[in-house]
Amino acid sequence: MRKKITKTDAEWRELLTPEQYQVSRQGATEPPFSGKYCDEKGTGTYVCASCGEALFASDTKYESRSGWPSFWRPVDGESIGELADESHGMRRVEVLCARCDGHLGHVFEDGPQPSGLRYCINSAALDFKPSEE
């Protein structure tokens, strides 16, 4: 079991950029096709921008044409949490970092096989750690 990270609102504001804070701590969504990892093709691991938890491997990233980085599975089942989201008049499943509860994006059931899932994630909630080759 991962050790939970908790910080005060002031600590999160000091640690994160304003955009990262709005997305990760307040549940905002960056505009489509605006995120820095939308077109990233490198090999490595996407980690939580708030706490550094490994979330998604680059070999599970795919082009969904949704406007946000999309992945078909997390690094492992314990790295993310899910929460029902009925905001904006829709029923969705919010994806959170299991370690710090940071908002990452949403998961939909319209992704590629083998999972059939599309984890639609905000670039502002992620950092990319390239593989050392």
Identify the DSSP state of 58: G
Task: State both tokens at 54.
Answer: 């490994």
Residues for the chain: how many in total?
Answer: 133
Compute the distance between CA of residue 18 and CA of residue 64 in angstroms, rounded to an integer. 27
Task: State both tokens at 81.
Answer: 């949490």
Q: What is the CA radius of gyration of the chain?
A: 14
CB 126 within 8 A of CB 72: no
Compute the distance between CA of residue 114 and CA of residue 93 in angstroms, rounded to an integer. 19
Task: State both tokens at 1.
Answer: 């079991």
**Marked catalytic residue, from 48, 51, 100, 120:** 120
Q: Residue 120 catalytic?
A: yes
Catalytic residues: 120
